[in-house]
Structure 1
């Protein structure tokens, strides 16, 4: 069975204007010899311009969310088809900020995954527990439940990744210990194999929780860590490249 190809994805969140495209270009220019696939997910307003700015390079572009429907009266929302049309090839779905701030359920995330597949986008599906859930000893139960509920059967045979985000570590500077990260990633892998059989062995499982150049080497070489979903450290090329080079 082929080992998962590492994926390092930068989530710019609600940051970035046209002036930020130079950071994406700097990342794209430095990817020669990189073994991982590398993606940046800018705000929807920048996807098309970023696609033009890095055209012909190895840098992939993604969206940060999509609507489940193809089109309709959904003011302010963006469909998977719109992202693909703008030049995206991936999309982040079920991010903890969407689950917590917008009440997104596993069922809704699964519907968005279906939308991504419909549009030919590769989904990065996020799962993770809150601090209270971890303190209660429910981290593995919560995370594996989200994997089962958020990943539809139609993913079988498709290219996708799962990103483990301990909610309590995002943007806080806190990071789980390496054994804690490994425990969750191993449980996610076991669940993927349970649900998808042998195909469950190939999707990379990304770690996403305050990844930065100073801790990337240890995290990226932990068991079943197949890359990273990077937040703030992806906004500057120097920091993001420091993480990529840690592989």
Structure 2
């Protein structure tokens, strides 16, 4: 076990489009977000990284536009196969994603676990594939059991990532996106106190491994104005869904996560 201080962590905020946007809306979103983003990021009080995760069809044109505008916006992918190449019809290679300019690869989302049979083992393999190609695994975690308390939540979440930490390089960066599965779509989300307690405990467990790689933790649940300030003692930022499908809401959230503007 290492007693050294954990690596420095920048704040992080991003949005996934899931399968909500058609191509026209996808283009409109980038046109709305990209022009003000560079100035906003440089004016924030806290160093902050910003990413978007569109569908696969949009990754290449997004990458080209981001590059041509010299924008700090980072790209993610909603999934990846674990192998770089092979007879895997319909899958997307992590090698190709890296070559396309992808920085983060999302994996382990509750929807993919429920609908497509994704497991802790397959997530670990995908994380290894992402790291092998110099991308960052963005691993969605969350306890299924409601009312089990903080320790029960931590134990359930840790099972979802322990194979990842065992399989990837010690110096590899990882992002954990936490949201209790029982709170997804619920009328009342998990309390801020619960989220902070669980994420603080998960960070301590990750640090106890003595890893040299940065481990950032996001809250991945429903967001709204003022949410991050209630959670910042436990998380490094927010991983947003439909709330941030409004470009103005996304930009305002970036400002909040970044500690406001100078």
Q: Is TM (by shorter chain) over 0.5? A: yes
Q: Shift in Å at residue 233 of structure 1?
A: 2.0
2: CA distance, partners of 1:234 / 1:173: 19
Aligned counterparts of 2:18 and 2:243: Cα–Cα separation in 1: 11
**Equivalent residue number for residue 31 of structure 2:** 25
Distance in 2 separating the partners of 1:21 and 1:216: 28
Q: Give the equivalent residue in structure 2 for 1:49.
A: 61
Partner deviation per Cα, 1:101-153 (whole Å, 9 max, x = no partner): 222111110100010012221111111112xx123443221012222133334
Change (3 A) 1:28 1:217: farther
Give yes or no for contact 1:128–1:167 (8 Å, CA) kept in 2.
Answer: yes
* Change beyond 3 A, Cα 1:175–1:30: farther
Query: 2:12–2:48: 8 Å Cα contact kept in structure 1?
Result: yes
* 4+ long deviations beyond 6 Å: none
Name the residue aligned to 2:260.
Answer: none
1:6 corresponding residue in structure 2:
11
Cα distance in structure 1, aligned partners of 2:201 and 2:85 = 37
Question: How far off its partner does 1:79 sit?
Answer: 1.3
Contact (CA 8 Å) 1:7, 1:38: kept in 2 or not? yes
For the aligned residues, what is the CA RMSD? 1.9
Instruction: Give the CA deviation at 1:173.
Output: 5.6
Partner of 1:237: 247
Q: Which deviates further from its counterpart, 22-31 or 89-98? A: 22-31
Give the TM-score taking structure 2 as reference length. Answer: 0.84
In structure 1, C-alpha distance between the alignment counterparts of 2:30 and 2:185, rounded to whole Å: 21
Larger Rg belongs to: 2
Distance (whole Å) between structure 2 residues aligned to residue 86 and residue 16 of structure 1: 20
Distance 1:128 1:239, change over 3 A: same
Residue 159 of structure 1 and its aligned partner are, at CA, apart by: 2.2
Q: Which aligned pairs between 1:122-133 and structure 2 lie closer than 5 A?
A: 122-130=136-144, 133=145
CA distance change for structure 1 residues 30 and 169 in 2, over 3 Å: closer, same or farther?
farther
Please say if residues 120 and 163 of structure 2, whose CA atoms lie closer than 8 Å, have aligned partners that are also in contact: yes
Normalized against structure 1, the TM-score is what?
0.89
Q: Distance in 1 between matches of 2:64 and 2:223?
A: 28
Give the 3-state SS of the residue equivalent to 2:58 in structure 1: helix
Confirm or deny: 8 A CA contact 2:128 2:164 kept in the other structure. Answer: no
Structure 1 unaligned residues grouped into runs of 5+ = none
Q: How does 1:45-84 map to 2 (within 5 A)?
A: 45-55=57-67, 56-84=70-98
Paired residues of 1:8 and 1:37 also in contact (CA < 8 A): yes
Shift, 1:169, TM fit: 2.8
1:138-153 equivalences in 2 (<5 Å): 138-153=152-167
**Structure 1 residues 37-46 or 167-176, which shifts more?**
167-176
